[in-house]
Structure 1
Amino acid sequence: MSSPPAAPAPRWPLILLRTSTTLLALLSLLQVMLAGSFLNGTYESLKDHEGTGMVLATVVVVQLAGAAAVRWHGRGPLWPLWTTALLAGAVTGQIAAGYARALGVHVTLGVLLVSGVLFGLVGAWRLPLPARNVRVAGGPDGAGRLPRPGGPVEVSQ
C-alpha cells in the first residue's frame, strides 16, 4: 500500500517573503536617499533617516518570520532564513553604529546592507510560487479539479 501524495506547499509563506523583501528593498533605497540628502546639507533629513531605520528594522523581523514560514510551512529552502538572520544582525549593528556616530562603519555597513537586501529580493522572487489548488465542481476529472497547464488533455467524443 502506497502513501497518499503529499499536499502541495502553501503559497502564503512565499508571498509574505516576497512582500517583505520588496518593502525592505524600498526602505533601503529610501535610507540611501535620506543619507544623501543629509550629506547635501538638509539636516532635517537625519531625523527621517532615523525613523526609516526603525521601520526597516521592524520589517526585517517580519521578513525573518516569513523566511521561517517558507522553510517550515512552505517546505522551502533554508537560505532565506539564515540570510535574513544575518540581515537582522547587520541592521542591529547598523543602528548601533549610527547612534555611536561611527560613520566609517555606518556607511560601509550600509552599502553592504543594501547589497544584501537587493540580492535577497532577487532570490525571493526567483523561488517558484506553488500552484494554486483550484477546485471547480464537476471538473474534467470528476473530482472537481482542473487539469494543470501543459498536462495531458483528454477529449471525449
Structure 2
Amino acid sequence: MESSPSTRLRRYSTWLWALRVAVTVAAVAYLFQAVSAGQFLAGDYAFLRLHQLGTTTADLLMVLALVSAAGLKWIARGPRAPFLITLAAMLVSQAQAATGAGRILWLHVPLGVALIGLVWALAWGTWTSAAWREVPR
C-alpha cells in the first residue's frame, strides 16, 4: 500500500528534524570536548572526568543521529549521504575514543580535530543541503 504524499512528507520531515537536533547537539558536545581537553592539558585535572563524560554523551548523541539517519534513509526513503556521513563520524569517534583511552595523544588530538570538523559539516548539511531537504517521491 502506497502512502499519500502528505504522509511521506510528514515522515520525512520528522526523521530529518530528529537528525538535525541530534547532530547539532552532538556538534556542540564535541566542541565542549576540545574545551575540556584544553583545560585538562592546562593543568585543571577535574576536566579529565568531564572530558570522559563528554565522550559518553557525544557517543549517545551520535547513536541517536545514526538511528535518525537510518530512519530518514529506509523509513522515509530519503538520501543515503546523511547515513553514510553519520556512520563515518561514529567510526572516527570510536577510533578517537580508543586512542584517548590508550593515551595515544599524537593520534587522539588530530582525530578529535577531524571529528569536530566532520560532525559540524554534517550538522551544517542537515540544515542547509537542498538535496537533503527534498522529499522523495
So what's the TM-score if we normalise by structure 2? 0.86
1:26 is the counterpart of 2:17: no
What amino acid is the match of 1:40?
A: A
Map Cα deviations across residues 120-144 of structure 1 (whole Å, 9 max, x no partner).
01111123276xxxxxxxxxxxxxx
What amino acid is the match of 1:94?
A: Q
Identity of aligned residues (%): 31
Unaligned runs of 5+ in 2: none
Q: Distance in 2 between the 1:50 and 1:106 partners?
A: 13
Shift of 1:75: 2.0
More helix by share: 2
What amino acid is the match of 1:75?
A: R
Partner residue of 1:112 out of 90, 94, 114: 114
Q: Distance in 1 between the 2:134 and 2:84 partners?
A: 20
Partner residue of 1:98 out of 97, 100, 107: 100
Cα contact 1:14–1:129 (8 A) shared by 2 = no
Q: Distance in 2 between the 1:20 and 1:5 partners?
A: 27
In the other structure, the counterpart of 1:52 is 54
Shift of 1:6: 4.9
SS state of the match for residue 66, structure 2? helix
CA RMSD of aligned residues (A): 1.6
So what's the TM-score if we normalise by structure 1? 0.76
Larger radius of gyration: 1
Map Cα deviations across residues 61-115 of structure 1 (whole Å, 9 max, x no partner).
1110000011122221100111111111111111110110000110010000000
Partner residue of 2:19 out of 12, 17, 20: 17
Shift of 1:36: 1.0
In the other structure, the counterpart of 1:38 is 40
What amino acid is the match of 1:22?
A: T
In the other structure, the counterpart of 2:85 is 83
1:128 is the counterpart of 2:133: yes
Q: Distance in 2 between the 1:94 and 1:54 partners?
A: 12
Q: Distance in 1 between the 2:122 and 2:36 partners?
A: 22
